[in-house]
Chain A
């Protein structure tokens, strides 16, 4: 069964140009690289990552939980320690800080998994015979079989100087 076409580039520049071209032509494709490539986000036409805002909201949540925990614990079981006020808020700062950071860290990690769809047990691109190379030192553009103008995309990629191979289940 044909899963699509994988085009390999050895140079990041040619890879970026091809990604830009494919996007302009309106093809459906995915880009693969062994490391983050500068300028790829623009080539794919992606906007800014909302990660900082997600982190900010998680931080508010964590801070709120931490303050609630400490205020609740202090009121429910009041202890007079050295005559300090029951709600002596400066003493709450360390725990509030740690729990804020803990919430953001765990939350952002889960957000990363959610958005990327990881953990991923299987993906068609892994059937490309030379797939390991896009984790090593080459760059890949994968056109899935769901793309209507599949052959057109493959010949365009060949024209752009890529080495194109079929991705099939063995």
Chain B
């Protein structure tokens, strides 16, 4: 059944030529559109960051009691998206799932840019971003150290570890491909690939060690994926705010991360495979499997939505139950019910092969799931904070144009970064695919 993971008859060389096309041939027209739109939004993003630095956090909509607004919503959203990359790469390599080989490069690149986008939010949310290094343990004249019993301290290390591992994992996978590109290109590209490939020769002993290190890193990246979003969830669960103080948060966030990560991967891969004519290596079967993982992780999320309602009632804690009613009937109720509609009701369409295998619906659903997961983070961060213990301090949150620009700007930077990446580096791991090609032929 794995036989049709590579569709069509290819010689080994033909397959490689096919996979190198996105890098070696002129890009298709949509690439320019993505690059231009992404670049423009990136500039707008830089402008919004400049405004934040020059005029301060007063330009944002955050206030008391909603001190965490769009910045934290988007931080969690991006970190979640960043999870599918490493998940596809690492967990599936450990489980020897052959369908990962077509997808890992793109999703790992997605991870890298998503985590970069995420990391900017806490940085600029500090207000005095120039003092960011205060989060690190360094000897200082105040004789102070970070508080290591606080999840915010854990978060710093979890995110940085994740960023390091996912970058290294992506880079390690690229090295053999870079060596091939080095030999096939000329001019500045040859220099770039020459430097980045570290002079990889294809020596068999190097290959053996390389594979051992690669599989080991996959094994290490797997628990890190789970741990990162669990730690992010503890930023909330450690607090006493109604709607946050739940022990179920770590698995809830991990499931949500996988769900949103796969949704974003589908959003990117479905148009890309058409623009770049990658149908022979990213087949309907790949997309079907991704849709199934989306369904499975989405069901975990949906279950915990329902569990949250039950726990709020069963806890007997008036503030918790009031928070739940506020979500369902308060001024933010449309957000809550839209989230339920997408992540609980529409999710069920993926049970049906006819709908799941319909690429138009799968693409539309993946976009909706991204929106749904954005709404989930909005529900958790903003709605919970707006309605805590004291009725006198209840207050609604209204984002400003700076908040919106910072959000759209990261989307632009994400697209811009991916467009540049695909132009320079093969979007499908060539060496991995050749390895798969041989395994499918029993070599």
Contacts and interface: CB of A to CB of B under 8 A. Distances in A.
A51 B207 contact: no
A121 B199 contact: yes
User: What size tier do the contact residues of chain A reach?
Assistant: 35 or more
Contact of B200 (A55, A95, A98, A118): A118
Interface in A25-50: 30-38, 40-41, 44, 46, 49
Interface in B189-238: 198-213, 216-217, 220, 223-224, 227, 231, 234
B368 to A, nearest CB: 33
Interface string A46-81: 100101100100000000000001101110110101
A50 B208 CA distance: 11
B223 A35 contact: no
A102 B149 CA distance: 20
Interface of B is mostly: helix
A94 B158 contact: yes
A130 B422 CA distance: 28
B203 A136 contact: no
A120 B224 contact: no
The SS class assigned to the A binding surface is helix
A116 interface: yes
Nearest to A50: B212
Nearest to B219: A55
B51 to A, nearest CB: 34
A33 B198 contact: no
A132 B13 CA distance: 12
Contacts of B154: 94-95, 98
Nearest to B165: A105
Interface string B136-172: 0100000111111111011001101100110010001
A131 B220 CA distance: 35
Interface string A73-92: 11011010100100010011
Query: Which 8 pairs between the two chains have the least Cβ-Cβ distance?
Result: A120-B199, A73-B145, A31-B204, A119-B198, A132-B183, A137-B12, A91-B149, A94-B154
Interface of A: 12-13, 19, 30-38, 40-41, 44, 46, 49, 51-52, 55, 69-70, 72-74, 76-77, 79, 81, 84, 88, 91-92, 94-95, 97-99, 101-102, 104-106, 108-109, 111-113, 115-116, 118-123, 125-126, 131-132, 134-137, 140
